[in-house]
Every structure is written in C-alpha cells, then in structure tokens.
C-alpha cells in the first residue's frame, strides 16, 4: 500500500478576517449586490476579465490577476489563474513559518475568500454542441481553485454559487467581516460535491465519445428535496434526487408532500401511461399501489351497464375521465389509497371522479384550472399533485445499489406496440383491433409490474393483474381470481345489492367483493351484514360458475414465456381468447397445442418484460 502524505502544520483559526478575495465567475447573477457588499467591507479583490469590470462598477478595489501575477491571460483565456501566486495565496497554511516565509519571498498575497463558478459544460452538451464546443466548455482553472480553497478550509472560504451569496453576507455581517470555521467547512463540503458532479458530467459525456469502455462509471445524485423517510420510518435520511446533467426532474410538485413510495408509484405509473398513450393513441390512466399497478386502462367508452357497476351513472365522462374510471375499477379494493397517473391533461370531469375516491395523489402533464383547484383541496390540501414534463428524457443508463454492490443496465425503453403482435404462432390467426388494444394494454401494464407478472385485459381495461409470484402458473391463477371478481360484479345479484343509507362508496366496493368471495367467518359476516337493512342471500358457487361461463374475448399477456401448458389451461377457464408472450420455452410447441385446443390466438412477441 502506498504511503500517505503527512499533514502540513498550521493554525486552525475559528474566525478569519476577509481582507482579500479572489472572484472569477462565469455566472454573474447577484454579482452587483455582492460587489457592493465587499466594497463596503473594504475587501481587496483579485479578479479577471468581465468579472473585474463588473466589480469596479460597484466601487470595489480590484486588482487584475494578470497584474498581480505578472503573467497575462493567454491561449484564448485558457490560462488565467493557473499561477503559483494565485494558488500559493489560496493553499498557504496560516501560522506555518515556512509557508509564510515563502509567501513573503515570492510576493504572494494570502487569499481569505474565493468566489468561483464554472463554465456551463452540461448546458453545452444539452444544446447539442459539437465535440470541440463541449471540450472548450470544460473548466480547468475554476475546479483547480475550488479544490485548493476547499482543501485549505482552515483559512479560506470557497463560494461556488450565487445561491450562497446571502449566507456569505450574513456570516460576515454577524462576525465583523470574518468567516467562522464551521461555515468554511460547510462550504468546502459543498465545493467538493460540486467538482465531483462536474467531473462526473464530463466523464459520462466523454465515455460516450470513445470506443473503449471506461473502467469506472459515475452517476451524480443531486438532492432536490428531503423526504420524511424512505420505505419505512426508520430509514433516514431520505431524499429525492435528480440524476440528469441539467438537474431536472421529470415532474414538479404542485401540491402536497410526496413520500418515497408515492414517488416510486408516480414515476412508474407515469411511464406506463405515457407508453400506453403512445402505443394506442388514446388517453391512458393507471392506478398504482406499492410500485405495481392495481389497474390500468385506455379511454374506451363505458357501456350503460359498466356505468352502473362502476357507480358513475350520472357522472360526466370525458375520454380522460373514462380511462381513470376503468383503471380504478380493475380492482377497486386494491386501488384504495392509490397513486394515479394520467397521460393527458386532467379535466374537470376527471377531477370530479377523483374527488370522490380515496386516493393519495396524481401525476399528469397538466391540469385545467378548475380541475387543479378541486385536487388541491382534496384531503384538506394533502393530496399530492405532480405536474409531469412530457419532454423529459430519462438517461439511457440506470444505476442501482443493493446490499453494498452496484448494478448498471440500459433502461428498458422498448415500446410495446402493434409490431410486437405480428408473429402469430397458433392455428387461429384472428386478432381484431380491440384484441390488439387489449394485448398492448396488458403487455405495457406488466412491463411496470413486479415479476413474475401476468395481466388480463378486456374492453380497454385491465381486469386482473398478478404481480410478484415465484411460480408463473400461480401468477396466472392469482390474476385469474381477480378477473372472476371483476366479472361477478356484473352479476344481477351483486348489482341488486341494496345498501343502507349512508354506507360509504369504498365500503360498498369492499362489501360487493366480499359478497362475491363469500368466505366470511361468523364475526365478519355479522359486521358485513350491517351494510344492509336485510342481509342478502349468499351467492352460491354454482350460480357464480354458471355466470362466469359467459366471460369471453379476454386477452392475457405474460412478462416471460409460459414454461408449461398449465397456464393456458388456467386461462381457458376465464374466457381467454387472445394471448401474448415472448416465447422461447422448450415447451413452446406444447403451449401452442394447448392454445389450439381452446381456439386461442397467440402471438410470440420476442420481448421479455421482467421488472424488478
């Protein structure tokens, strides 16, 4: 192991009087006000070019760095401050006799405050600059001064952003023109964070310009807002961070205070609805719970019967509102307290539907003024409203840490559309337009569902989502159970349930589901019966089975191949007619034969959609 460098001796002083400052900034925001303050404090300033000119206008005593060093700015400004008299003044250890003697010998002035910000490299890249332009926007002198100042935080304060000017002025005002050690060390930590992010940005860009992969990959997490906690209350601290070069997030927080899981739901649901709208050309909606969709749908008009079952008979239903009603009613019990995503602007009709549902928040690209007012008042102002940016492009690479190790992969940007349904492998070849829409809906939905996942769709809505099962056939059966519950909500006995006056909307939803399931113990049955003036007769299994025989034209998609025919056998019991799956199993021919025996149409998509 290489030996480390020994510490240089010097005084550690709490309060350091600011007598000399070096100021060289590209972003001159707030410079006039700061210059006036420094002039009033009698600070001697070393500066360069346009910064020096701007400061002189404020009455500051300014000495050009070129005059101080005796070396002119050269090489088109590439070399301005890279000089021993600049860096010696920054790095000299105060109270170190050797350093002080060398400063005196070489005419070096001690620098107490450095104010520097950097060339806008990320903006040059974002604007599509060519190689030479991006190279020219890599700052050299700035990072060198920042790192030197931060290293010598015992004596030097380093300010790297106009956002820090107010705190600097307050610090010097409160301390008679001095900075204290705690302040300087806080600034130093922020400075090293800045240079690390800046170098990371350059490194990521340069890595994309060469043919040989670099051995180290970097990603910068820029904290945008603190979070109350992570997945659980004991997981602190927690933050929401941006990872783009611009520091942008894919959304703005309009109202409410989103939590860690809210945001995971939001960003996954928003991607789902964006892709669904892109693939179908229709408004799309998703209802998320615990980072998997409880439901998703497109804006296919409701039938009169669906309006009754979904309790929106007298509601105005625009295509956007319809998409959400369908998404919420895939599994309305699981959607309790959901996070909603809408692909299009949220209109008044959609807000009025959301107003009556128990929900935590929504993400959408926009809101009509009337809709926004309604949503901001929901949950006494605690309802979360996020405005998504449809133009936001996520980075191509995804980074993840688990248990002390890191993973990097290309983002799953594959779009599932009609082209993925062209490889029909069964004897039956018919795929009507509605079936294609349903298979696209189911496939995009399971793309954002914890694997293993299988999803059933019918009439433009998910009717059963099975998530996170180790066995694929168990996943098929879990989702199928949800399909049967969805279908049985249309049974005449269920539709005829007469609730007591005052029973809440969600309680009616839950009571219908438990009536369909029917497996209530005595205490639960007694409590359930309190929803009615007269408890209804049970829904018999034979009655349910007979009604379910009318279920047909259901579409199913699987995130990976069906390894055995047992999944197809299970699908046949709930009216599945259309199947999409990647294919690639050694038992593909057995699965195809099973589909043929039931008259199903199956397409191999050649696209696995695991999501972990």
CA-nearest of 372, 326, 315 to 345 is 372
CB 430 within 8 A of CB 603: no
CA-nearest of 193, 155, 132 to 21 is 155
Which residues 6+ apart lie within 8 Å of 67 measured at CB? none
Q: Hey, how many other C-beta atoms are within 10 angstroms of the C-beta on 382? A: 11
Secondary structure, 3-state, 348-408? HHHHHHHHCCCEEEEEECCECHHHHHHHHHHHHHCCEEEEECCCCCCCCEEEEEECCEEEE
CB 364 within 8 A of CB 254: no
Residues 91 and 99: their CA atoms lie apart, in Å, by 9
Catalytic residue check, 228: no
Catalytic choice (28, 83, 169, 290) = 290
Catalytic choice (28, 44, 83, 151) = 151
Catalytic residue check, 290: yes
Rounded to the nearest 5 percent, the helix, strand and coil shares of the chain are 40, 20, 40
CA-nearest of 388, 432, 419, 350 to 272 is 388
State how far the alpha carbon of 337 is from the alpha carbons of 347, 362, 385, in Å. Answer: 21, 11, 14
**Does residue 545 sit in helix, strand or coil?**
helix
Bond before 50 cis per omega within 30 degrees: no
**Catalytic residue numbers, as ranges:** 151, 290
């Amino acid at each position: 192991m290489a030996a480390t460098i020994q510490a240089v001796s010097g005084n550690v002083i709490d309060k350091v009087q600011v007598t000399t400052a070096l100021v060289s900034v590209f972003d001159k925001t707030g410079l006039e006000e700061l210059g006036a303050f420094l002039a009033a404090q009698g600070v001697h300033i070393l500066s360069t070019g346009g910064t020096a000119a701007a400061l002189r206008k404020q009455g500051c005593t300014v000495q050009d760095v070129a005059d101080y060093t005796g070396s002119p700015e050269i090489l088109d400004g590439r070399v301005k401050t890279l000089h021993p008299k600049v860096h010696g003044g920054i790095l000299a250890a105060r109270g170190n006799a050797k350093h002080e003697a060398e400063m005196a010998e070489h005419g070096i002035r001690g620098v107490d405050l450095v104010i520097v910000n950097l060339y806008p490299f990320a903006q040059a890249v974002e604007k599509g600059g060519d190689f030479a332009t991006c190279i020219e926007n890599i700052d050299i002198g700035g990072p060198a001064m920042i790192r030197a100042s931060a290293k010598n935080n015992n004596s030097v304060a380093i300010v790297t952003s106009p956002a820090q000017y107010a705190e600097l002025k307050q610090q010097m005002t409160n301390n008679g023109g001095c900075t204290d050690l705690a302040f300087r060390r806080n600034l130093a930590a922020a400075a090293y964070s800045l240079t690390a992010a800046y170098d990371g940005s350059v490194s990521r860009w340069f890595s994309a310009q060469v043919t040989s992969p670099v051995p180290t990959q970097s990603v910068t997490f820029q904290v945008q807002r603190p979070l109350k906690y992570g997945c659980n209350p004991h997981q602190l601290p927690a933050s929401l961070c941006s990872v783009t070069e611009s520091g942008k997030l894919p959304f703005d927080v309009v109202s409410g205070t989103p939590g860690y899981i809210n945001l995971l739901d939001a960003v996954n649901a928003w991607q789902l609805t964006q892709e669904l709208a892109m693939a179908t050309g229709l408004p799309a909606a998703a209802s998320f719970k615990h980072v998997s969709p409880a439901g998703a749908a497109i804006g296919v008009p409701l039938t009169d019967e669906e309006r009754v079952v979904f309790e929106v008979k007298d509601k105005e239903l625009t295509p956007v509102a319809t998409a959400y009603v369908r998404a919420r009613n895939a599994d309305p019990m699981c959607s309790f307290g959901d996070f909603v995503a809408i692909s299009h602007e949220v209109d008044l009709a959609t807000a009025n539907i959301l107003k009556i549902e128990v929900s935590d928040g929504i993400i959408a690209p926009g809101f009509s003024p009337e809709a926004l007012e309604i949503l901001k008042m929901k949950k006494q102002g605690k309802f979360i409203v996020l405005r998504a940016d449809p133009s936001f492009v996520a980075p191509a690479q995804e980074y993840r840490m688990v248990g002390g190790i890191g993973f990097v992969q290309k983002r799953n940007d594959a779009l599932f559309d009609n082209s993925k349904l062209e490889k029909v492998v069964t004897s039956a070849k018919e795929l009507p337009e509605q079936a294609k829409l349903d298979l696209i809906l189911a496939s995009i939905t399971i793309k954002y569902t914890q694997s293993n996942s299988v999803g059933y769709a019918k009439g433009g809505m998910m009717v059963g989502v099975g998530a996170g099962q180790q066995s694929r056939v168990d996943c098929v059966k879990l989702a199928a159970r949800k399909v049967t519950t969805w279908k049985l909500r249309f049974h005449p006995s269920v539709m005829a349930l007469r609730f007591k006056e005052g029973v809440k909307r969600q309680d009616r939803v839950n009571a219908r589901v438990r009536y369909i399931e029917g497996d209530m113990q005595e205490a639960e049955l007694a409590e359930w019966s309190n929803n009615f003036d007269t408890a209804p007769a049970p829904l018999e299994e034979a009655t349910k089975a007979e009604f379910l025989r009318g279920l047909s034209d259901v579409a199913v998609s699987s995130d990976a191949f069906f390894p055995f025919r047992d999944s197809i056998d299970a699908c046949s019991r709930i009216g599945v007619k259309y199947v999409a799956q990647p294919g690639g199993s050694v038992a593909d021919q057995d699965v195809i034969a099973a589909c043929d025996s039931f008259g199903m149409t199956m397409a191999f998509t050649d696209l696995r959609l695991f999501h972990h």
